[in-house]
Amino acid sequence: MLGPKDLLQHSREMNTFQVVLSTDGNLTFLLYNYEDIQWPSIYAYGYYQHGPLSLAGLNSGYDTGYYTLPGSLSLDIANLANTSNVNLMGRWAFRVDQQHPEDANGNLGRGKFYSVNNNGLLSFSSPISQYTPQALPVALGNPFLAIFWADIDNRLAGDIYYRETTDPSLLSRATDDIRTYFHGVNFTARWVFVATWHRVAYYESSTSKVNTFQAVLSTDGNRTFLLYNYEDIQWPSIYGYHQHGPLSLAGLNSGYDTGYYTLPGSLSLDITNLANKSNVNFTGRWAFRVDQQHPEDANGNIDEANKTVTNWTTATPSKTAIPPTTSSGLTSTVSCNVYGVQAFNICILFHLFYSIYCIALRWI
């Protein structure tokens, strides 16, 4: 009987890829060509991984001037052979003669850096260890998404997963959702990032109350949209004279004194209503456009710094409503309106007190 090591040694999976640098003495361009990427992969009904996780990208050697290609450090890196940033399958093109690398759409910036924090935050410059939420804006120069900012302790209960993907089925679903919620927008998703807090408890919890919520980022390289999905929010709550769970906050924060928004019910017990309301008429789902200085919902600018916040949909949507993109072919470990299908559970979880870094292939 072959063990994992034997299977890896007997695997004949091979990869073919290429780099092409060209210059005219002034401008320098780079092509990555991926002809056939057979590993890493999963074999034997998900029990064995063939090949190590890999990374593709550009690195200047400093704290700026870098970029990571989609799927890096996950099994999705094999999709580089089936996707592209120049509409030619398997080819990725960049300009690399300046401080910041560029693709055909312009500056790629510092690169993609994000921290999935177990306190319910997704941050973009550095991890955030603060577990007590504060009213927005938080002007620290570190933009973050507060999906459910609270003192979460998933050592007691729950798991946290994230996945970056260019899987065609998920790209299609994200495209359909955004076109549905933002009427008339010409959007085709090229990249999706999903972070899920699944049945997580709060610090020093002595109850069985748990929360499940999720963030979905999608972009076409120009416009970026965000979905918050709240499947089940059981805490904070009041039982008799006692409060179960800390107060929490949900919102968007640019890291400065402008470009922020706080979802209804934040820092009160009413935050549990996020699972029963919506700003796109689908229970538990909240949608935003986040690629500009001021965040928007489907009705326009919602930046609280402008004092012209759009009135949210306060009526409770139908619990039986089904989004246009829901497919009977999609299954999950939880019956809810969140993205994803059940995949192999080979996630490496580090249950730290503050932040969790996880390459997760099991997600909901």
Q: Is residue 191 part of a domain?
A: yes
Closest residue by Cα to residue 94 from 68, 62, 55, 75: 68
Return the half-sphere exposure (C-beta side, CA atoms, 13 A cut-off) of residue 131. 14
Phi-psi region of 109 (alpha: psi -120 to 50; beta: other; left: phi over 0): left
Distance in angstroms (rounded) separating the CA atoms of residues 39 and 37: 6
Tell me which residues of the chain have a pLDDT lower than 50. Answer: 1-9, 110-111, 308-364
Q: Give the pLDDT of residue 270.
A: 97
Distance in angstroms (rounded) separating the CA atoms of residues 262 and 67: 30
Number of domains in the chain: 2
Q: Is residue 282 part of a domain?
A: yes
Distance in angstroms (rounded) separating the CA atoms of residues 290 and 111: 17
Last residue of a domain, one of 291, 306, 321: 306
Q: Give the pLDDT of residue 266.
A: 97
Q: Is residue 187 part of a domain?
A: yes
Structural domain for 266, as ranges: 115-306
Q: Is residue 205 part of a domain?
A: yes
Do 228 and 191 meet the contact criterion of CB atoms below 8 Å apart?
Answer: no
| Same domain? 59 vs 119 | no
| Same domain? 83 vs 215 | no
| Same domain? 143 vs 60 | no
| Same domain? 119 vs 260 | yes
| Same domain? 73 vs 216 | no
Distance in angstroms (rounded) separating the CA atoms of residues 223 and 232: 29
**What is the strand order of the sheet 249-253 is part of?**
115-116, 121-123, 144-149, 249-253, 260-262
Last residue of a domain, one of 107, 140, 157: 107
pTM of the model: 0.61
Do 343 and 361 meet the contact criterion of CB atoms below 8 Å apart?
Answer: yes
| Same domain? 150 vs 46 | no
Last residue of a domain, one of 306, 322, 342: 306
| Same domain? 73 vs 165 | no
Q: Give the pLDDT of residue 11.
A: 62
Spell out the residues 6+ positions from residue 106 whose beta carbon is closer than 8 angstroms to its own.
none
Q: Is residue 292 part of a domain?
A: yes
Q: Is residue 288 part of a domain?
A: yes
Do 119 and 131 meet the contact criterion of CB atoms below 8 Å apart?
Answer: yes
Q: Give the pLDDT of residue 105.
A: 67
Helix (H) or strand (E) holding 163: strand 159-165
Structure-block tokens of residue 112: 């993609």
Q: Which residues pair with 252 in a beta bridge?
A: 145, 261
Closest residue by Cα to residue 38 from 69, 78, 77: 78
The predicted-structure confidence for 177-218, as pLDDT tens digits, reads as follows 999 999 989 999 998 888 999 999 999 999 999 999 999 999
Q: Give the pLDDT of residue 319.
A: 33
Q: Give the pLDDT of residue 359.
A: 32
Q: Give the pLDDT of residue 307.
A: 58
| Same domain? 54 vs 199 | no
| Residue 119 neighbours by CB distance under 10 Å | 26
Mark out the alpha helices in the chain (DSSP H runs).
Answer: 4-10, 168-181
| Same domain? 89 vs 127 | no
Q: Is residue 120 part of a domain?
A: yes
| Same domain? 169 vs 232 | yes
Do 289 and 223 meet the contact criterion of CB atoms below 8 Å apart?
Answer: yes
Q: Is residue 29 part of a domain?
A: yes
Instruction: Specify the residue for token string 């993609």.
Output: 112
| Same domain? 156 vs 301 | yes
| Same domain? 152 vs 246 | yes
Do 77 and 71 meet the contact criterion of CB atoms below 8 Å apart?
Answer: yes
Q: Kindly list the distances between the CA atom of residue 355 and the CA atoms of 66, 131, 148, in Å, as whole numbers in the listed order.
A: 23, 10, 14
Question: Phi and psi of 34, rounded to 5°?
Answer: -115, 105
Q: Give the pLDDT of residue 337.
A: 33
